[in-house]
Structure 1
């Protein structure tokens, strides 16, 4: 099983960290999780064009996690996709997708009539609304749906992926969440969001003290995420959804290291983690994670 960070950012615009998105590869299965800004470019750079995806999973319906859905649909069609895109998401996903496609219907109708492409099946979206406790299956890849705490967002999920004897937990957007810790216990990799509160000062006309407190209140603080990984007993922790995107990497690593002694990855766009071979690759560099403490290689 392989995990690829496509976008490690947040709603704050960054040319280094695109919007939240990641893809999980296991055998022939290719599953995209979330489709933030720039996802189609990152998919192409990762060698997994939208044409080839088996499914899209949505953690929740915040704009930064699904803003490029229509771009994904259209670009996949232009790449020659010949089947509908299965989309799995929380309650409200069907209404969102139907509204999105209705909004763009005049443009699509014109394109279909004029461009005469061999198939329009890629423009048919197969929506399944999911609930906590469900287990989805994509070939040999099993995906357990975990409810996380992103209130006031009513429905928000994390996912636990399992294939080839490896387990990978993805937090989605959440504050400290016992249900996620339980589901992730003993995982080979926990990919978790992080809010670096010390680097989000009050800025007049941009964010007030109340803004900072409220945003921090439904995310996981950088002072908490190492404790979560330690409590879950995971073999490796990787951070993503950096708020702010340009957070000081050295200070963040030191902060998390104080609570978690295992390997820590600060995710970067297009970084790949191969769980089977315990390798991390990014920008031409390759690193072996080695055997986690107390486990055989």
Structure 2
């Protein structure tokens, strides 16, 4: 399995860290986890495209995780996608997408009539609303939806991808979650969000102490995420979805190292990791981690 971090940011605007999204490649299949801002551009940067995505898995319906859904749909159509978009998500996904497509319907109808493209099948949606448990079986691959703790959001999921040999877990947005730890047990890679509390300072007119505490309450703190990886016995921890987007990486690694001794990757947009070879790539750089087969 190959994991590419497409966006490692959060609702804060950043030109370094785009909105949350990850790409998992397995054999000839490509799966997208979340659809944050800039995802279509990052897909191209990763050598993929919306037209190639076999399924999109939404962790929850917060705006920073779904904001570029329509951009994904229409750009995939422009790229010549030859099948409907297959989208999995929590309860409410169908209502949201039906409303989204209705909002854009006049513009779409005008485009369809004027542009005379050979097909509109890429504008069709196959929507599956999930309950905890098996979300998809695709050959040897199984995708499992894990209910996580993101209250007051009523339905939020992490996802585990496994083919019986390799295993990758995505936390989604969550506070410390024993169910996720259990589901991610012995994962080759745990891709986990990270809230860096000391970096979030009160700003008059922007956020006060109550805002910071409320946001922190449904994320995993940097002082906790190492415990999650250690208890899950994850082979590698990949940090993403940083809140805030700018932080002291040395201090963050010190937080993690207090509890977890395995490889830790402080995620960057377009960073790629291969769970079979242990190869990490980012730009022109390539690092082979100690990775016994």
TM-score w.r.t. structure 1 length? 0.97
Is 1:253 aligned with 2:263?
no
Is 1:45 aligned with 2:51?
no
Task: Provide the residue aligned with 1:211 in structure 2.
Answer: 211
Residues 5-84 of structure 1 correspond to what in structure 2 (within 5 A)?
A: 5-84=5-84
Q: Report how far residue 140 of structure 1 moved.
A: 3.6
Q: Report how far residue 253 of structure 1 moved.
A: 1.0
Is 1:113 aligned with 2:119?
no
Aligned CA RMSD, in angstroms, stands at 0.9
Which secondary structure state, in structure 2, belongs to the residue aligned with residue 224 of structure 1? helix
Q: State the distance in 1 between where 2:149 and 2:114 align.
A: 46
Q: State the distance in 2 between where 1:142 and 1:278 align.
A: 22
Q: Report how far residue 59 of structure 1 moved.
A: 0.3
Q: Residues 4 and 273 of structure 1 are in contact (CA less than 8 Å); yes or no, is this contact kept in structure 2?
A: yes
Task: Provide the residue aligned with 2:201 in structure 1.
Answer: 201
Q: State the distance in 1 between where 2:61 and 2:149 align.
A: 14
Q: Which runs of 5+ in 2 are unaligned?
A: none
Q: Deviations over 1:33-56 (max 9, x none)?
A: 100000000001111100111011
Q: State the distance in 2 between where 1:67 and 1:74 align.
A: 13
Q: Report how far residue 164 of structure 1 moved.
A: 6.2
TM-score w.r.t. structure 2 length? 0.98
Aligned residues: 293
Q: Residues 59 and 89 of structure 2 are in contact (CA less than 8 Å); yes or no, is this contact kept in structure 1?
A: yes
Task: Provide the residue aligned with 1:191 in structure 2.
Answer: 191
Q: Report how far residue 139 of structure 1 moved.
A: 3.9
Q: Which runs of 5+ in 1 are unaligned?
A: none
Which secondary structure state, in structure 2, belongs to the residue aligned with residue 134 of structure 1? strand
Q: State the distance in 2 between where 1:107 and 1:281 align.
A: 40
Q: Residues 3 and 23 of structure 1 are in contact (CA less than 8 Å); yes or no, is this contact kept in structure 2?
A: yes
Q: Residues 29 and 140 of structure 1 are in contact (CA less than 8 Å); yes or no, is this contact kept in structure 2?
A: no
Q: State the distance in 2 between where 1:103 and 1:207 align.
A: 32
Q: State the distance in 2 between where 1:165 and 1:48 align.
A: 25
Q: State the distance in 2 between where 1:163 and 1:4 align.
A: 18
Which secondary structure state, in structure 1, belongs to the residue aligned with residue 133 of structure 2? coil
Q: Report how far residue 238 of structure 1 moved.
A: 0.7
Q: Report how far residue 247 of structure 1 moved.
A: 1.2
Task: Provide the residue aligned with 2:221 in structure 1.
Answer: 221
Find runs of 4+ consecutive structure 1 residues off by over 4 angstroms: none
Q: Residues 29 and 138 of structure 1 are in contact (CA less than 8 Å); yes or no, is this contact kept in structure 2?
A: no
Which secondary structure state, in structure 2, belongs to the residue aligned with residue 104 of structure 1? helix
Which secondary structure state, in structure 1, belongs to the residue aligned with residue 186 of structure 2? coil
